[in-house]
Amino acid sequence: MFELAYWQRALQTPVILTGFLVDLLPLIAVLTMGWGALELVLLYWLENLVIGVITVIRILFAGVGKGNISSLFTALFMGSFFTIHYGGFCLGHGVFLLTFLGEVGGNSNIATSFSQLGDSAVSDIVTSMGLIGLVGILSAKFLWELYQHVVLYVRNGEHVKAEIGDEMFAPYGRIVLLHIGIFVGAFTMAKLGDPMIGILGLILLRAGVGVIANVSEGRKKQTIAG
């Protein structure tokens, strides 16, 4: 896994390569739509919700895959429980993120931006172009997640063997890994006062961590040859 050739093969896998390119889409928003730290970190937080929706769909398919009524009702219950539990997780994560960036940013632009987000509606401080970028990138992310984690999941028959409980807890480890990269990058960005180099660095770091997460999942499914 630590060999360069392994990662070259990984990036030649269409799904992983496409996921990497989707994670680089914020570069376009930064360079053409005037995105700053606020829009970028808001995007990464909203991606949690996309992952949550995909997980609920997987839980329901896992219930259907068992082919009996009791499993379907179990899936409905677990999906509802997951929605509440994961929703609280995302809320807590968002509050922590705002507090974290506000404190490490001091009097910098990034601290001011996140302080405003805590007191105002998103539409009051994010431009219309910024919102268009958010919707566009989130849509691309949702479609990729849908294909990777639902279409292939069903097509390969994984939902038949999947355990509903395992599906419910599956996204947490992945999100922790992704957001370690975000926090490290955001901390550096905040300390630098929100310069362009910090924002671009955060995007690249997040995309790189995303590849690691996707490759790790690919190894489990044995989708990478060699």
Residue 125 predicted with pLDDT over 60: no
Residue 215 has pLDDT above 80, yes or no: no
Which of 99-113, 177-191, 212-226 is least confident? 99-113
For residue 225, is pLDDT > 50?
Answer: no
7-11: list long-range contacts, CB under 8 Å, 24+ apart. Answer: 7/211, 7/215, 9/224, 9/225, 9/226, 10/211, 10/215, 10/218, 10/224, 11/211
Q: Given this model, what pLDDT does residue 121 score?
A: 47
Q: Which two tokens stand for residue 162?
A: 């999947």
Higher pLDDT, 97 or 171: 171
Percent of the chain with pLDDT over 90: 29
For residues 156 and 153, what is the distance between their CA atoms, to the nearest angstrom?
Answer: 6
Determine the average pLDDT of the residues in 80-88.
Answer: 93
Average pLDDT of the chain, as a whole number: 78
Q: How far apart are CA 218 and CA 226, in angstroms?
A: 12
Give residue 110's pLDDT: 47
Higher pLDDT, 215 or 43: 43
Instruction: Evaluate if residue 106 carries a pLDDT over 60.
Output: no
What pLDDT score does 220 carry? 57
- pLDDT tops 80 at residue 84: yes
Which of residues 196 and 146 earns the better pLDDT score? 146
Burial class (CB in 10 A: 0-12, 13-18, 19+), 103: exposed
Angle formed by the axes of helices 164-191 and 37-65, nearest 10°:
170
pLDDT digits (tens, 9 = 90+) for 33-81: 888 777 887 888 888 899 999 999 999 999 998 888 999 999 999 999 9
